[in-house]
A and B are shown apart, each in its own frame.
Chain A
Amino acid sequence: MSSMNRLRGLRALLEDVVEHGTTAVERVHRATAARPFEILDLIPPVAPAARGVRLVHDATVAGVYETIRQVNHLVGVTLSAAIDLCDRDDGQAGGEPERTSESQTEAAPAPAATPTPTPTSEHTGETRG
């Protein structure tokens, strides 16, 4: 698991949290706001005006939460591009090749790109403790 993969994972997780969190809060917001509107809807003199206010309210709520989701998505895409750029720069600078440790417990074919074993990559206890 490379640092860049972890960064990508963190970015994706944060984006998911904001996306799903926003949707959940929107649902609570709508459900909470619906209660007074439903009561006002039962009072004939104010019902027509309340319906109009509710339309405006619902449209505004939808717009605000959708904007949050879109900005969140935009920030996510931008961060992804920045991470990719950093990753490419590191690769061109001759950084250490990524290890393919994730597939080690599968059928375990010999990874062609595995670096020459060193005491830190296949150690027997040096890093213990």
Chain B
Amino acid sequence: MDDVSFELVPGEIVALLGPNGAGKTTTLRMLGGLIHPTSGSVLLDHGTVTPVTASRLRASIGFLTETPGLWERLTVRQNLTVYARVHGLASPQLAVDRMLDLFAISDRARDFAGELSKGLKQRVALARTLLHDPPIVLLDEPTAGLDPQSAHEVRELVLRLRDERRAVLLSTHNLDEVDRVADRVAVLRTRLVALDTPAALRTRLFGRRVRVELAHDAASHVSKLRADGIDDVIVHGGVISVGLNEHVTIPELVRRLIESGADINAVMPEERSLEDVYLRLLKEPQ
């Protein structure tokens, strides 16, 4: 990996995107102090992560690994208690009870981890990640392989972490998930290809566009627009898509269409999918 510099602030969710082997997990591991960069540094509020400081600084990080990694022959409560004690919490059992309640798994506390469904295992792993109340949360594909309901619950939790002013870094392949929760997106391809809000990335790559739905066929109105110098127009029956710039604004466009006699049903910003953005970024030369 090379040239991966970014900042993560409290109350923010940054999504790490990239193809397999792009370095998402490696980035999370470096930030979590599990492995150390050969050059460059990881700075936390209270110090730089080095082999010497990593152990202490890991206390402020909650790291959800790609797989739940539960000890299957131990109960849910035992799994969490070990971690509560490893984190040196003053009242391990109280902390465990709090997490069991928070994740609605109190009734499964005595079950062996090996007997749980994938979704429940992930919930226990998340409970383990947050047991010590870390201000920084690193999540490696938290919804991978989960059913839609479980995935939804995890996403709700991630949003709750942001509300609690935690800094959240989320690695995922699920672009819909990114669209739903991420404030910013970092695209990796062994180096940082892009880092911005989803909206800013869309604008940067595809420009701003507006979609206008007309009551009748749009062809005649499009000719008029083109005659007026508005060339970036795409027509699909009664719907036209127009590229915006400093000369072509939404009020100006609407005014011209009305002047040309168009009956407008709806005007809405046209958003390219995050998938389009992602694929475009990956196609760009490094």
> A and B, one complex?
no
A: residues with CB less than 8 A from B are: none
Interface set of B (CB-CB < 8 Å, partner A): none
